[in-house]
Amino acid sequence: MKSNFLLFSFLLFSALSYGQTQGEMNQNAKSKYLKVDKELNAAYQKVLIEYKEDSIFIKNFKAAQRLWVQFRDAEMKAKFPDREEGYYGSVQPMCWFVEMTILTNERLNKIKVWLTGVKEGDVCSGSVKTID
């Protein structure tokens, strides 16, 4: 069963990467990361505008974002510690940007809550706006 899974995973990966060089796959992963990073920054700016009247929230929200960036960077260093060039092989840039995309998507989803709001009656919504 395990060998079937490994074979399936290999074939799926091969099919998805068919016709691409490692450089192209690295660039594709980077492009995906840059797209989600742009979305994150846009959502962050929208929250700042939408909640501009709540100066205490804005102060804390900005602090949380700065700390998240520090967390993200530390998480990446933990996953890919600084090593001599080539240590992780030619897939390292792709793997780096895939992980950055995952972390950034997680943060984006957290930030979007302040934009979409939560249902009225959520007693633990804190600073998040409520909707009907």
What is the per-residue DSSP string for 21-62? -HHHHHHHHHHHHHHHHHHHHHHHHHHHHHTTT-HHHHHHHH
Return the pLDDT at 105: 98
Residue 125 contacts by C-beta under 8 Å, 6 or more apart in sequence?
118
Q: From CA 110, how far away is CA 115, in angstroms rounded?
A: 10
Which two tokens mark 84?
């001599």
Return the pLDDT at 121: 87
Return the pLDDT at 32: 97
Topology adopted by domain 22-131: Substrate Binding Domain Of Dnak; Chain:A; Domain 2 (1.20.1270)
Q: How confident is the model at residue 81 (pLDDT cuts 50, 70, 90)?
A: confident
2 has a pLDDT exceeding 60: no
13 has a pLDDT exceeding 90: no
DSSP strand pairing (118-119 vs 130-131): parallel
Q: What angle do CA 70, 74, 76 make, to 5 degrees?
A: 120
Q: What is the pLDDT of residues 82-97, one digit of tens each?
A: 877 778 888 999 999 9
Q: Is 131 exposed, middle or buried (0-12, 13-18, 19+ CB in 10 A)?
A: exposed
Return the pLDDT at 8: 54
Q: What is the pLDDT of residues 44-76, one digit of tens each?
A: 999 999 999 999 999 999 999 999 999 999 999
Q: What is the mean pLDDT of residues 88-116?
A: 95
- The model carries a pTM of 0.80
Return the pLDDT at 97: 96
Average pLDDT, the chain: 88
Mapped onto helix, strand or coil, the DSSP state of residue 129 is: coil
**CA separation, residue 78 to residues 67, 81, 99, 105, 112 (Å):** 16, 6, 12, 19, 27
